[in-house]
Every structure is written in structure tokens, then in C-alpha cells.
Structure 1
Amino acid sequence: MLSLTTLHSVSPLEAKGMDTQSLRANFLFDQAFAPDEMKLLYTHYDRMIVGGVLPEGGDLTMDHVTECGTDSILDRREMGILNLGATAVVTISTGAHQLEAGDMLYLGKGSGPMTFGQGGQFYVASTPAHRTLRSKHITPADASKLNLGKAPTVNDRTIYQFIHPDVMESCQLVMGYTKLHDGSVWNTVPAHVHDRRIEAYLYFDLATENRVFHFMGQPQETRHIVIGNKEVVISPPWSIHCGCSTGRYSFCWVMGGDNVDYADVDMVAIGDLQ
């Protein structure tokens, strides 16, 4: 079964006056994964779609999505798929791709319907595409790796860049994930904004009893949202994003917008946050 929620854009002025429930309603997708469902969030930030696909009782096929205005969801879009579950197959018209846990699959514009096989737990992200590029299966070994932070500042982490110019070509989608090392709990430090792109975080590998405190808002008007395992938070272009947790975790980041330059960010010093 396919279900879709639409998320409209929020300005910094509106966010400034929101209480906890309003912040969660406008920036958090906390029901992304449900057995035998394909749950999508259609955002009005750069028309990005994110969601979860959890086929347990049988394979699930994603094709027509009314909100996209096309016969099939990828007629004018590209998509990244991350498998968080057991080894499983994603099938498109040109063939089948077997994804291990931690593998990512890029599907180019015009890939047609896709069928998600049992056993997988798939996180999907899609942005509009202006031309057709070849689909590609990327493993963690294929990804570009970037080590940042230090253990003494509890932000020692490795960034795995999958859908990224150093690894492959895409139209506007940039996607990968970050793994925190033992004893580290801070991500994306120092915080930054990038006015030219939306970003979404999926937090995963987080124990049931733990939570991530995700920070957002303008640098001098920050807010936070408390997030559990396999929940998605949307970061508007005007918002900072960083987080701290009560236990070990990883997070999948996905961006879409004007360019694919991963380093196109405006850094915000910790001392300047309020």
C-alpha cells in the first residue's frame, strides 16, 4: 500500500513562533516505516520526496504517485535507495539489483516502476531530474569516505558519500550516510546552513531507548526536535542542522537544490549559536 503526506514550506518567521508539537508536525516524519507499506513525504522544499518501504508479507511495487503529475514516479525524477535491512532485491525494467545492508542504489530519470523485495528495509529519496543518467549500485567499499571530528570533542565520525560527484553523476540528488565512532555523539559540528539546498536526515542504528536531539532554526534563533530511531527530519535551506544523542547512531543525509557541491555550505561557529 502506498500513502503520501504533503509537507508545505515554512518560513523562519513562522518557525520562530512554533511550539513543540508544531515543530514536529512541520519538520518531522516520524512514521516513515510501517510493515507492508510504502510511506512517502512530499515536501515543497525543492520538491524532494523521502520515505520508507518495508515489504514483509510480499514484494511492493512503486509506480504511479498522483502528486508527481506523471504516469510513473520516475518519469521526471531520480531516486536514491538505501537498504537498512537484510539482503534484498530491487527490480526495475532493466534488471534486478541485490542490495546488502548499507548498500545504495541510484535510479535515473525514466527508470519506470520499481519493485522492492522482501527482507529489505528501504529508505528512498527523490528529486526532480532534467536528464537521464544511468542507474548505479554503490556499496560502502565504492563510496568516497571522509573522516571528520575528534574523539576528545565527541564528534569522531566517518562520512560515506554514495550519490556524490566523486563517485557518480546525478542531476541534483546528493546522498550518503555518516557513522559516529564509539564514544562520539555529536554530528555535523560545527553547524552550517546552505541556502541553495534542502537537506533531510534519517537517523538510524539508534537503540530503542535512546534519542537524538536534533538542532534546527536560524543561527541566532535555534530550536530542537527530539527524534527516535528511523525517523526523518527536514532541514529547510534557512535552517542550521546538527545533533547530539544519548547513544550511538548513524544518519542518512540527502540533499537537493541548485548544485551538487557537497562543500557549498555556510559554516556557523558554535560560539555564534543562540
Structure 2
Amino acid sequence: MLQLIVCVVFESKTHIIRAHSIKNKKIINTYEKQFEDKEKLFDYLKNLAKEYQLHYIAVFFNAPTQGLIPTNDTKEFARFGVNAENISCLSLANAQIYTSLANIQEYKESFKDYGGLDFIFSPLSLLYYCIKQQAARKGIVLYAYRQAESVAMMVCKEKEILFGSFFDINLQDEASTLSSQEKGEENNPEEDIDIENYDFGNLDNLLDEKLDDLKYATTTKEDLSHFSSDMKMCSYIFSSIQEFYNNPLYKGNFIDEFVIFDNENISAVVLDYIEGEIFIKPQVIQIDTLDLMHELACKELKI
């Protein structure tokens, strides 16, 4: 039987849908569109789904009301500033991803007129999946998952998860951004992450050098926007490392490696800057979020 697997990523400016028709575990057709208007995406989805007897929908869950706690004991949630009521949890090894039930319901409501939502993939769960696909690494490793408008992070020691956090890069009110120490309401909010707290002098020099090397004649608004997002990502990386080292909840030891699963082609300038600040050379592994979502959906459906 021909089946359709639909994967959707909502972003602030562009919404992406990619669908594959599957028969006998083989891809028959691929459909991909981008829309600025979310309603047009839903119209496209509705018309596409009509052609298939069975279809499944997966969405990338980038709501800021999510985080990770390195324990499976709900009695320990309060120690990390998380109220265990009105949240949904997903277990990962010795840790749990949590998020607001209200946000889960909001995502489900969005798709109720289009056959319902079958899979909700948190970037933290996608990050953990990517980690498991890698050969085991010794020591303490910091992992990051970079999507256009978010970054998810984990610190692991072999199979044990020591720390996790999630940041919405575009969120205006950064005080409401969640990490693994807060629920997104009013429980122990972190200090605002202020880019001005970091010394970007080295970055300015690196940027000048790279621009000269590449002989850029102009810099578009899109380039500047992307660079700004990269800088916010850097500030989140640095603040997460500080939290891991300084918060006694994590008993953080020094990080040995830093691996970035990158959906956005992070520039060499930014990677050089990160290395200069944390004295660890980032290892970059290119990934495709929509492909990962499709792969996981097929595993769940056993097709």
C-alpha cells in the first residue's frame, strides 16, 4: 500500500513541508514546498493528503517551553526548578525531556483538520538520536544541534546524559527561554543572556580576515541576519558551558570535545571564534532535520 510521510518545520519567516510517498519501504515520490503563509502550507498539505489512503504527519517542535533534566525520578524535578505538573516527559537513558502540555496541545490543534498529528520531534530528541548514531566517544562531550532558529545542547559522558538545554534564537524575551533548570513560567529564571557580556574583539579580526580572503564585495541583509543568529548561538553555547561548570547540580568536569550537528552551514569564522573562546575545536557534522524526522517516523511505523 502506498503511504505518505509528511514532515513539517515551522519558522518565523518560512514554513517548510517535505513529504515522501512510500511503498514496500522504498521512496516513490518526494514533494517539498516552502511557504511564508502557514495557512497556504496547510492547504497544500490537505490537497496532497487527499491522494493517499494513509498519511502520517510529523512536526519539528521548537516551542521554548522545553528542556532536559538529567534524572528519571520525578521527585527530583523540583531540584532543577521544574514543576512536574502539567508537563509531558520523554525518557532518554538517564534523563527526561520535558515540555508544557499546553504547547503540545497547541501543536495538535494546528493539525486536527488535516488528519491529526502523529509525531512531535523535539530538537533535543533529534540531538540524542544523532548522538546514538555516532561511535562511542571517550571523556565528556558537549553536543549541539543547530536548526535555523534554535539550538539544543547536551553534555554526555559516554551513555550518561549530564546536562541539557534548549534555546529559541529568535525569542525576544530571553528571560523566558528555557534551559534544563527552568520550566518557562516563574520558577528560578536564569539571568538574561546578554551578548554584550562577551568579548567579540577576536571575532571582529577573524571576520575581517575571512571577508578579505573570500573577497566579498557586498554583505546582504540575509547574510547579516544569519551572522547575528550565529552570534546568539555562540552566547547560548558559552552560557550553557558556564552553567554546566558552575551549577553544583551538575558536578561538571571539564569538557573534552565539542560536536555540532549542523543544519545551517555554520561559517568557519564562527567556528574559529568558538574555538578561541572555549579552547576546543568544534567538530561539525552536517545533518538535514527533515530527513532525520522522516527516518525516525519510518522507524516508529516500521515501514
Same structural fold, with TM-score higher than 0.5 when normalized by the shorter chain: no
The answer to which structure has the higher strand fraction is 1
Larger radius of gyration: 2
TM-score by length of 2: 0.25
